[in-house]
Amino acid sequence: MKVLSIGWINVHRALRDRTGLFFLVALPLMLVFVIGAAFGGATTPVVGVVGDAGALSAEPAVQVRNFPDESALRTAVEHGEISAGLVRTNGDTPRLLVRADRTGQQLRMLVTTSLTREANRIAAGEFVSAHTGLDRTTALSVVDSVRVAPVEVRVSTAGRVLFPEGYSGFDLGASNQLIVFTFLNALTTAAYLVETRRLGVTRRMLATPTSARVIVAGEALGRVAIALLQGLIVLVGSALLFGVRWGDPFGAAALLCAFALVSGGAGLLLGAVCRTQQQTTGAGILLGLSLAAFGGCMVPLEFFSPVLRKVAFATPHGWANDGFSTLTRRGGDLFTVAPHLAVLVGFAAVLFSLGAWTLRRAVTR
């Protein structure tokens, strides 16, 4: 009961801090949105068109936006407002402007296919009109009425895809932000623990009929609860707001809990070691961002050199990152991520032991 009471007071204080709430709730979800939007979300790509959009208007996979002239169209493409622009003026050969990103290249294929299909339709209409004497419009209606069974193409993927079909920038950004902010906020909110010690509240707790073990356990629970809350905010928030898929729910829940334990342990250790709140915040940000970078939360682990990959798996972030990738990109489940869970729990055990020992020593000596 006392452990819960001490743990709750930590969460209560974190929720009361308005600045802290911004970092706990708003910023992680904002970053999920920004990264998702920047690296390709699930939204329909936009093609700018000068002139007649033609068959493109009926394409379900693109959204057409009309532009008054080529100059405005080019500016929009160059500024990244749209990924491709089509110029179709009377009699001239259509010209396509595309950005050199993934969406631009997809639109290039899509627009070329659409224009080819449209040219084929007109050619078939001409053919029907020439051989039947029907006027052009009627001939095109005849062409449109012909239903051809689609050609069945069996597709199989060779090799290992980095990102599976339908995997969006939101999916990638969400798991990374979950790891970054769960750990980062557990470290920076350890400043509460330092403040509690500095104000003499921890020593005062020790003067109550409460053992040092219970006080340390309560403070540790508080750190884990804050980390877990942060993780849940990103997990549930990103799923509801951006449709992020987290894979097997049991695996995701287990990974979240294990990483919250690691983060809580690190927060406890930092809060026990540091003497001032400024030290805690500074060290927390430095450690949180460094480990996130080395753990593959800024750039996917697959892009790392072999040496850096080894470094990544020396951090809890690397294991958590790979665990979430296993769930969301490789169709893994609770059993597939069991090694990740075991390593993370190991990290947590070491950090908690060190943190508990240091904190107990700090308050009883």
Partner 1 sequence: MTVLSCSGLRRRFDDVVAVDDVSFTIAEGETYGLLGPNGAGKTTTISMITGVLERDAGEVFVDGIAMSTHAIAAKRLVGYVPQELALYPDLTGRENLRFFANLYGAGRERVDHVLDVVGLTERAGDLAREYSGGMKRRLNVAIGLLHEPRLLVLDEPTAGVDPQSRNQIIENVRELAAQGMAILYTTHYMEEAERLCDRVGVIDSGHLIAEGTRRELVERLGERDRISLLLDGDLGHATAVLGAIANVRGVAPHGQGLELVVDDARECLPAVLAAISTNGVVVRSVEVTEPNLETVFLHLTGKALRE
Q: Are strands 95-98 and 84-88 parallel, antiparallel or unpaired?
A: antiparallel
Q: Of 95, 62, 97, which is closest to residue 79 (Cα–Cα)? A: 97
Residue 123's SS3 state is: helix
Would you count residue 24 as binding partner 1 (CB under 8 A)? no
Would you count residue 71 as binding partner 1 (CB under 8 A)? no
Would you count residue 2 as binding partner 1 (CB under 8 A)? yes
Stretch that binds partner 1, among 4-12, 62-70, 126-134, 276-284 (CB under 8 A): 4-12
Would you count residue 13 as binding partner 1 (CB under 8 A)? yes
Report, in this order, helix, strand and coil percent for the chain, each rounded to 5. 70, 5, 25
Q: Are strands 46-51 and 63-66 parallel, antiparallel or unpaired?
A: parallel
Instruction: Report the nearest approach of partner 1 to the CB of residue 263 (Å).
Output: 22
Would you count residue 18 as binding partner 1 (CB under 8 A)? no
Nearer to partner 1, 215 or 291 (CB): 215
Residue 2 CA to residue 342 CA, distance in Å, equals: 29
Residue 81 vs residues 96, 104, 198, 199, 269: alpha-carbon distances, Å: 15, 12, 52, 53, 46
- String marking each residue 98-117 x if it binds partner 1 according to CB under 8 A: --------------------
**Pseudo-torsion of CA 327, 328, 329, 334, nearest 10°?**
10
Would you count residue 276 as binding partner 1 (CB under 8 A)? no
Contacts of 19 (CB under 8 A, 6+ apart): none
Nearer to partner 1, 95 or 204 (CB): 204
Instruction: Report the nearest approach of partner 1 to the CB of residue 9 (Å).
Output: 5
List residues bridging with 50 in a β-sheet: 87
Q: How many helices (H) and strands (E) does the chain have?
A: 15, 4
Instruction: Report the nearest approach of partner 1 to the CB of residue 200 (Å).
Output: 4
Q: Give the containing element (helix H, strand E) for 349.
A: helix 338-364
Q: Which of residues 254-273 bind partner 1 (CB under 8 A)?
A: none
Instruction: Report the nearest approach of partner 1 to the CB of residue 187 (Å).
Output: 19
Would you count residue 17 as binding partner 1 (CB under 8 A)? yes
Instruction: Report the nearest approach of partner 1 to the CB of residue 278 (Å).
Output: 17
CB atoms within 10 A of CB 350: 13
Instruction: Report the nearest approach of partner 1 to the CB of residue 197 (Å).
Output: 10
- String marking each residue 195-234 x if it binds partner 1 according to CB under 8 A: -x--xxx-xxxxxxxxx-----------------------
Nearer to partner 1, 210 or 336 (CB): 210
Q: Which of residues 306-365 bind partner 1 (CB under 8 A)?
A: 364-365
Stretch that binds partner 1, among 7-15, 143-151, 158-166, 307-315 (CB under 8 A): 7-15
Instruction: Report the nearest approach of partner 1 to the CB of residue 173 (Å).
Output: 32
CB atoms within 10 A of CB 297: 27
- What are 72's two structure tokens? 């405005």
| Residues in touch with partner 1 (CB under 8 A) | 1-2, 5-6, 9, 12-13, 16-17, 196, 199-201, 203-211, 364-365
